[in-house]
A and B are shown apart, each in its own frame.
Chain A
Amino acid sequence: MVFEREQLLKHVISDVLETMFFSMVEFGECGQGDQCFDYGSEIHLLTHSGRTAISLRVSEEFARMITANFLGVEENQVNDDDMEDSLKELANMVAGGYHARVKEAGWRLGIPRVWKIGPESMDAAQRAAELGFAFLGEPAGSAVVDYLPA
């Protein structure tokens, strides 16, 4: 990932997770590409010249915790729909924050999607490009931003 985009993504993810999900994460020096996570979420920023795709992957444990924080409930009260909804909101806010800082005109946010993932869902090249983050020293998730020309 290009350095500037990586720094921007780190800043936005930290801001969103701290402000709305009351969770502080630490970013790794390099991606945690060989780590298997349980949920994926993705959103596209659409412009005339192409799409910027922001993808997040998180562990189920982390997804459950941030969902509970977001909703103000206990983790055992969180169900799959809650987690899906919260992960969509997370992707939405990260994408909105990312593009607010890029300050490029003429774009719109796509619809976020969330899915359960397995280790086979992503190829090695994409994994290597990921930015990993940890919560209390444990791998919690990863993020990647890609520009896809029209």
Chain B
Amino acid sequence: MSYNVLIVDDSRSMRKVMLKTLQISGFLLGECLEASNGLEALEILEGKWIDLILADVHMPVMDGIGFIKCLRDKDICRDTPVVFVTTEANEDRLNQLMNLGASGYIRKPFRPEEIRALLCRIMGETDGFRTGTTVETCDF
């Protein structure tokens, strides 16, 4: 089984890096969709099944906090894990994201191993990843 992932980040480069990180981490990637802010992500979620959302916090139009608030208020993708990948270091804001239902967060800069470890915890080692794979090469 593979998983559909939605990457939400206003930086096109960062979206590319996130995709490559998932690919080299051994994640069982199905379709990968991209949005440049929370509002675009909500539009995608209306018409597409998504198994995992990776989102930035600081974005124009609708930021990460507004996005997860909308998801929870409108009861969209209730059981879909939302992981924030962010430069945010403010503990209060990170706690706010967790209280709003985020499954976890990773601080940038990150290593592929960190993404893998967090996603293993959230998605399950045997469910979310190819058996026996490790992050051996990090050359994006």
A interface, CB within 8 angstroms of B: 15-16, 19-20, 22, 67, 69-72, 81-82, 85-86, 88-89, 92-93, 95-97, 99-100, 105-109, 111
Contacts and interface: CB of A to CB of B under 8 A. Distances in A.
Contacts of A106: 90
A106 B12 CA distance: 29
Contacts, number: 68
B107 interface: yes
Contact of B107 (A22, A100, A111): A100
A49 B38 CA distance: 30
Contact of B109 (A19, A82, A85, A88): A19
B56 to A, nearest CB: 10
Given A82-B13, A97-B109, A109 B88 contact: yes
Interface string B101-140: 0000001111100000000000000000000000000011
A137 to B, nearest CB: 23
Contact residues of B: prevailing secondary structure? loop
Contact of B11 (A85, A96, A97, A107): A85
A84 to B, nearest CB: 9
Contact of A22 (B58, B92, B110, B139): B139
B105 to A, nearest CB: 12
B1 interface: no
B139 to A, nearest CB: 7
A99 B58 CA distance: 15
Interface string B75-114: 0000000000011111111000000000000011111000
Given A72-B17, A100-B107, 8 more contacts: A70-B140, A71-B16, A72-B140, A85-B11, A105-B90, A105-B92, A109-B87, A111-B60
Given A93-B87, A97-B109, A72 B13 contact: no
For B11, B88, B90, B107, which residue has the most chain A Cβ atoms within 10 angstroms? Answer: B90
B61 interface: no
Contacts of B86: 96
B20 interface: yes
B65 to A, nearest CB: 11
B32 interface: no
